[in-house]
Chain A
Amino acid sequence: MSIGPDALNARLLQFLRSSVNADGGWGYSPGKASRLEPTCWALLALLSAGTSETEDESRVHSALALLAARQDKIGLLIDVPGAFQNFAFNGLAAIATSHASTSRPPKADRLGPDLKALVSAITAGQGVRSGRSWINRQDNELSGWPWHDGVSNWVEPTAWCALALKKTAPAADARVASRLAEADRLLADRCCLTGGWNYGNSNMLGKELSPFVLNSALALLALQDRRALPEVVRSIEWLDANWQSEPSDQALSLALVAMHVYGERTRNLERALLAHLEAAGPAGSLAAIGSVLYALNGPHHGCTAFTV
């Protein structure tokens, strides 16, 4: 028997609430150490759910406080102590922090990490430029963002960081404008021939590689202000025609958010997401469950966390 979207929403929200760690963050699964990605998605899920529960307000504040406690001297948030800083999830953290400060002022903007320092550190980060290569048809001189310091530029971290800067950085800042212009070029350069994106190589050794739904949705969100680009046009068409090919919590959720932001029809996607959740149960990580909750509730508020 179908349990309906409201009951499903309530069940997932309750699961998320019950999975919070004592330090105010979320791990990738219940009982695991708090990490940036699931904590940020949980934050976005709670904010989008619009509950009036005082305890949810408290959870939002605790999560923001945890993110603030993770901020290092240069402004980046530490995901795992001692490891490289993860640019992708710092981009997501900037988006979540910014959204919290606008949707739950005034306390949220005092509790979270220093957004200005975070944005400045993201702006300063970049991947290795390695020049053109015989192995594939892409411009490796272009720099976006790497997963961490000292390696190449990839689609997901570039998409998260570009979207974060487009939402939160001062548009008049020449350095930011330059980084964003190059990031947009990089994403266009890495677009698959069919439209859509994978992790970051559209071709290798003369063969065309296939796009993935999840990465395509993220890259489209980052390029929402460049809708006339031919790569964006064909990628929206590709995503519209292919979102069914990757039936998972996170892929369907991000596809739904991206399609909503582009003003495309999302009714079938929402139905598919609900049907998938009913059939399989929430099978993804807590980050995926957070993204599901955002996808179910964010559109009621225009998906403002992800709109530029």
Chain B
Amino acid sequence: MAARHSRSELSRRAFLAALPLAAVASACRRAPFDQARFALPARSEVALLPASDYGASAVDAVARGIRLLRPDVRGRRVLLKPNLVEYEAGTMINTNPVIIAGAVEAFRRAGAREVVVGEGPGHRRDTEYLLAASGLGDYLRELRVPFVDLNLDDVRPVPLASQFTGLEALFFPVEVLKSDLIVSVAKLKTHHWAGMTAAMKNLFGVVPGAVYGWPKNLLHYRVIDSSILDLNATLRPGFAIVDAIVAMEGDGPIMGSPRHCGFVAMGADPVAVDATCASIIGLEPMKLGYLREASRYLGNVEPGRIAQRGERPSRYAHRFEVVDHLKSLQRKI
């Protein structure tokens, strides 16, 4: 299978990059996805669990969410994919290590055969530094859980299950491909290009930097929304945990400001989890390009198809600051 891209194919890149998502999809020769290969869940459960800080309440929130939703992990190999993109002291760029550690313990208790943590940071290639600076390395050592640098793993080409990017295939780390369940353990942040980053956008980190570079520029060239869709359609993360205890607003995903929200969002449908998070922070889910398209084939966005468990979303409703060019994504007050 050819995952290599010819110069002539790439010469269309600048043109495609300038187009909105819908136009990119319509520019594809064939439909961007085969509806027969996807089945929307009749109803998606999303749990919101309160946690005031990154102490015991955070660990408890993750454990309670997993007990509540009961993801099927018995005897399975679970890959936890946190968001660890860069590190700046005092900022809220990354998934807090307490959430990741809580997830490791909860999945082990739920009967997972093996739990592995894997990430391929998108800006810094120095993962050893990131693990130490973020504190995640200490937690992983204590829990004796293996960490895989997805930027540097062996890779295999995989045909993409939808074609919003126009790419036929991408190389993915073997550790990701051999997992039975991929869990996106994300951070809730505004994103100055995509609008928001949570469970779905977090999958950018599985694309190997040693193949695609730092940053993973091809994913931007092929339009961020399109890349989010193709990655999620192909890898199908089976569970999502979003750290929104202290989220990021404004100029996210790196330069934004911390915003205390006090909850963890969880669910087996990452689309529904992201739609719930978008609503909570004051964004209109159907105005986010990737969520609008995902609602056609990957998961539920409509509130009527999302069963809220735990706390009500209204308890956490915030109107996040966004950069000026994304004001149109905000819900009308």
Contacts and interface: CB of A to CB of B under 8 A. Distances in A.
The answer to whether A and B belong to the same complex is yes
Interface of A: 27-29, 32-33, 35, 37, 79-80, 82-84, 86, 88-89, 128, 130, 146-152, 154, 156-157, 198-200, 204-205, 207, 209-210, 212-214, 246-251, 280, 283-285, 287-288
Contacts of A209: 254-255
B213 A248 contact: no
A86 B126 contact: no
A84 B4 contact: yes
A83 B211 contact: yes
Nearest to B219: A151
Given A83-B157, A86-B211, A148-B218, 4 more contacts: A32-B153, A84-B5, A128-B14, A285-B152
Contacts of B212: 84, 147-148
B221 A249 contact: no
A77 B293 CA distance: 39
Q: How large is the interface on B (under 10, 10 to 19, 20 to 34, 35 or more residues)?
A: 35 or more
B3 to A, nearest CB: 5
A283 B126 CA distance: 11
B276 to A, nearest CB: 27
A205 B214 contact: no
User: Main secondary structure on chain B at its contact with chain A?
Assistant: loop
B42 interface: no
Nearest 4 A/B pairs, CB to CB: A147-B213, A150-B10, A28-B152, A248-B129
9 contacts: A146-B213, A150-B5, A204-B255, A210-B88, A213-B126, A248-B128, A248-B129, A248-B132, A283-B128
B105 interface: no
Contacts of B4: 82-84
B210 A199 contact: no
Contact of A27 (B124, B154, B213): B154
B225 interface: no
B217 A146 contact: yes
Contacts of A284: 128
A33 B154 contact: yes
A33 B154 CA distance: 6
A82 B129 contact: no
Given A148-B212, A210-B88, A288-B128, A82 B14 contact: no
A214 B157 contact: no
Contact of A88 (B7, B157, B213, B215): B213
B13 interface: yes
Given A28-B153, A80-B171, A285-B152, A156 B129 contact: no
Contacts of A280: 132
Contacts of B51: none
Contacts of A80: 155, 171, 211
Q: Which of B13, B125, B254 has the most CB of A within 10 A?
A: B125
B119 interface: no
A150 B7 contact: yes
Contacts of B274: none
B128 A249 contact: yes
Q: Which of B88, B124, B217 has the most CB of A within 10 A?
A: B217
A88 B88 CA distance: 26
Nearest to A154: B213
A198 B153 CA distance: 23
Q: Which of A82, A128, A151, A207 has the most CB of B within 10 A?
A: A151
B215 A199 contact: yes
A84 B211 contact: yes
B36 interface: no
Interface in B37-51: none
Q: Which of B2, B124, B129, B154 has the most CB of A within 10 A?
A: B129
Interface string B105-140: 000000000000000000111101100100000000
Contacts of A146: 213, 217
B149 interface: yes
Contacts of A84: 4-5, 211-212
Contacts of B125: 156, 199, 214
